[in-house]
Amino acid sequence: RRLNVRVNIELLSISNPVHKKDLAVRLTDDTDPFFLYNLVISEEDFQSLKSQQGLLVDFSAFPQKFIDLLQQCIQEQNKDIPRFLLQLVSSAPALDHTPVSLNVVETNPFKHLTHLSLKFLPGTDAEIKKFLANCLKCLKEDKMMLEEKLKRTEEDLTRQLSYTQQSLSEKSRELEKLKNEWTSYTTALSNKHSQELTSEKERALQAQTQYQQQHEQQKKELENLHQKSIQQLQNRLSELEIINKDLTERRYKGDSTVRELKAKLSGLEDECQRAKQEVLSLRRENTTLDAECHEKEKLINQLQTRVAVLEQEIKDKDQLVTRTKEVLDVTQEQKVILEESTEEKLRHIEKLETTIKSLSAELLKANEIIKKLQGDLKTLMSKLKLKNTVTIQQEKLLAEKEEKLQKEQKESQEMGQSLRMKEQEVCKLQEQLENTIQKLEESKQLLKTNENVITWLNRQLSEVQMAKKLDSPASAHAGGRAAVSPLSMPDRPSFHSSGLSHPISPLYAFQNFLEPIHSKNGNSQCPVSKVQLNSQLLKATRCSDAHTVPAAGHAANKENGEQLGLESKYLKKKDDSIPLRGLSQNTLNSEYLRPYLPAKAQPSPRAAGTPASAYFPG
């Protein structure tokens, strides 16, 4: 059987004890108050339903999608063969308080596809009572509203009735007055019209007699004029026959002259066509040469700009080793730009081809115009004097076209010479490009070697740090000094003396805090360097110029005179080296770095307060 069912969808939010959202769906029938089926879907239930039926929608979007399916069913319920159907299926033969499944089915000639199937439970007595109570409450509220509306409408209608009755009585009085006035007015008008009709009939009879007399007089005059015009036309006919004989004689003479002029015209037309073909060939050559010139000029400009950029990068490669990756990205972007420029050139070539086609079409139109002019010439052959002047003008135009052809040939030769010069310049620029690419490859190799040196340095520093950590508890018990914990160090120290105004992040490369430790007896011991390694900052310095370059601090064992970490050959200052900053004044004093730096890099005793900076190769 077929029923009209009301579907109510509600989102219930429960905050006690845990915040949850449930979807409540209720099926009811307006005709049957005991028809009630409920379904409550929580988020967990929805996940199981999603896995069972292969749904692609989340819990938040499920209600709206369900509503959309119901709307499609509503739209197609009046059709003979609906595409979407709502099926309410129960195991029992009748809907007799048994679980029911609601299916949204899409029908097609091949198969019935169920998009969604939901199992509803029949409402219990308490739920049905609650539902009926809500329905009663709503009906009572509607009843109260309707009663109030009825009272208002009755009052309004009584007022309107009284007002309309008063207006009716007034208008009926006005109608009677108007009827009386109208009868008097119509009688007066009928009398006037009868008098006017009699007077106009008399006038019409008088005018008719006058018009008949005038017509007879005009008829006589027209007959006299017609006879005179016939005599004049006969005289003119005789004159025209004489003129016709003279014209036929002249026509025979004109035909002979026309034949002579046609022979001359055919020769001139052949010469004109040859000149036009030569002009077309030269124009095509000029267009191709112009296109090649524009393309090569663009290539030269792009190559010059690229060479300038590469030269600047080569000059700055010694100071900006960390930027080489960015330079590679820039070169890749330039390749993309070059590819785009080639595409634009191809489009430009296509546009030129379209212009050539349009020019050919225009030439065809010009040929058609010439044919039309030839037809006009045939009609105007009778005017011999004008033809002589036309032939003279054509000879002048041919001379001008020959001069233009000579000028275009000279211009094409000059263009060929300029093209050769530009090809030579392009070859030179290509050689410069190859040199710059070789220099780039050398800089990449230098980068790799520098990265290997830095990794070796990090290993050495980590070994020194572990050794110092093992020695620190023993020295703390012997000397009775307070050890500084790494937790008490500041997270982001700012180094004003080293030229770094911005704070360095807690992941900066090396933190080396040296503090003089005094014993109870007043004897001082050698400061111990604490070195921390962070490889993440090394990666960050390669990506951006704003970050500081990590530096490694080396501590010396004064008693043994041995050097910890690298040999002296790795600490030599080079002309193309980059200063590694990021260590404070307390960490790298000139007294501790003096044995490990070369003679040029050792600080003077006066400059003990200045910031120390170590130089690494490359």
pLDDT of residue 133: 92
Q: What is the mean pLDDT of residues 79-99?
A: 80
Query: Residue 13 forms beta bridges with which residues?
Result: 21
* Domains of the chain by residue range: 5-123
In 3-state terms the chain splits into helix, strand, coil percentages (rounded to 5) of 65, 10, 25
Q: 591 or 410: whose pLDDT is higher?
A: 410
pLDDT in tens, 36-52: 888 989 888 899 999 99
Query: Which carries the bigger pLDDT value, residue 554 or residue 397?
Result: 397
| Lowest-confidence pick of 124-128, 345-349, 355-359, 383-387 | 383-387
Class of the domain covering 5-123: mainly beta
Structure confidence at residue 244 (pLDDT): 87
Q: How many residues does the chain have?
A: 618
Query: For 281-300, what is each residue's pLDDT tens digit?
Result: 888 888 888 888 888 888 88
Give residue 527's pLDDT band: very low, low, confident or very high (50, 70, 90). very low
Identify the band that residue 509 occupies on the pLDDT scale cut at 50, 70 and 90. very low
Q: Could you tell me what percent of the chain has a pLDDT over 70? A: 74
DSSP, residue by residue, 187-231:
HHHHHHHHHHHHHHHHHHHHHHHHHHHHHHHHHHHHHHHHHHHHH
Task: State how far Cα 377 lies from the chain centre.
Answer: 59
H or E stretch at 379: helix 324-379
CB count in 10 Å sphere of residue 612: 24
Determine the Cα–Cα distance for residues 604 and 608; give it in Å rounded to an integer. Answer: 7
DSSP 8-state assignment for residue 518: B
- What is the pLDDT at residue 413? 84
pLDDT tens, position by position, 245-266: 888 888 888 888 888 888 888 8
This prediction's pTM: 0.29
User: Where residue 604 falls among pLDDT bands split at 50, 70, 90?
Assistant: very low
pLDDT band, residue 583 (cuts 50/70/90): very low
Q: What are phi and psi of 112, to 5 degrees?
A: -100, 115
